[in-house]
Amino acid sequence: MRKVAWAAALLLAACYPGGAETVEDLDSVTTQHDPAASFSTLRTYALPDTIQEVSAPGGQPLPMDHSYDARILSRVASNLDGIGLRRVDPSAEAPDVNVLVTFAATRYAEYTSYSFYDLWPGWSGFSDYDGTWGVYYPWVTGTTYVTVIDAGSLRIDMLDQRTANPSAKQLTAIWAASVDGVLAGDKESIVQRIEKGIDQAFAQSSYL
């Protein structure tokens, strides 16, 4: 009877999604726009042919492989073309908006306390200890466990050239998108996830 009860409890617990199970589950796309901007009057855009690296606050910056820049920029351009904008050479024609693409890759290390005794309860090697004991790392303050996450963010900014303010030396970003995720797996799969994120950024911005 007790076994049946345990089996039922485990079955119920198994039915529940407990959180992310794959790297893709942690992918997200964030977009934001200026509600006062007139997107319907946009006609042209300019797009630099490189992706520049920026550093995210906190964490340790990671190097980026630029061999996929052209492919990623092509995806951005095809989406901009898809909403009816025409790409122009800014040296020949002033665009309505400049679209800038940047990337930040960052390693975040998080130190989390843990109790070693509770992880191997009853192990004879810990017979002289109990759950109140911890581990001291001389090189780190406190009882810690290190979690490392490599995260990447591709950001697309749409800067309105028509409303440039020379006196304040300020350009207004009327739309921004951030494709965020964990940098794990081979490069091809990461680029595919970025391309999917770029498409999603435009799909969820119906006002463009």
**Residues at the interface with other proteins (CB under 8 A):** 12, 15-17, 19-20, 24-32, 35, 149, 151, 180-182, 200, 204-205
Q: Which is nearer to other proteins, 16 or 139 (CB)?
A: 16
Q: Supply the minimum distance, in Å, between the C-beta of residue 180 and other proteins.
A: 5
For residues 193 and 26, what is the distance between their CA atoms, to the nearest angstrom?
11
Q: Which is nearer to other proteins, 59 or 134 (CB)?
A: 59
Q: Supply the minimum distance, in Å, between the C-beta of residue 137 and other proteins.
A: 26
Q: Which is nearer to other proteins, 46 or 182 (CB)?
A: 182
Q: Which is nearer to other proteins, 95 or 181 (CB)?
A: 181
Rg, Å, the chain Cα set: 24
Q: Which is nearer to other proteins, 50 or 204 (CB)?
A: 204
Q: For tokens 């996450």, what's the residue?
A: 149
Which CB contacts under 8 angstroms, 24+ apart, belong to 74-80?
A: 75/194, 75/195, 75/198, 75/199, 76/47, 76/101, 76/156, 76/198, 77/47, 79/198, 79/199, 79/201, 79/202, 80/45, 80/47
Token readout for 165 is 């303010």
Alpha helices in the chain (DSSP H): 2-14, 69-82, 116-119, 187-203
Q: Supply the minimum distance, in Å, between the C-beta of residue 207 and other proteins.
A: 10
Token readout for 158 is 């749409």
Residue 42, H or E segment: none
Q: Which is nearer to other proteins, 26 or 77 (CB)?
A: 26
Q: Supply the minimum distance, in Å, between the C-beta of residue 149 and other proteins.
A: 8
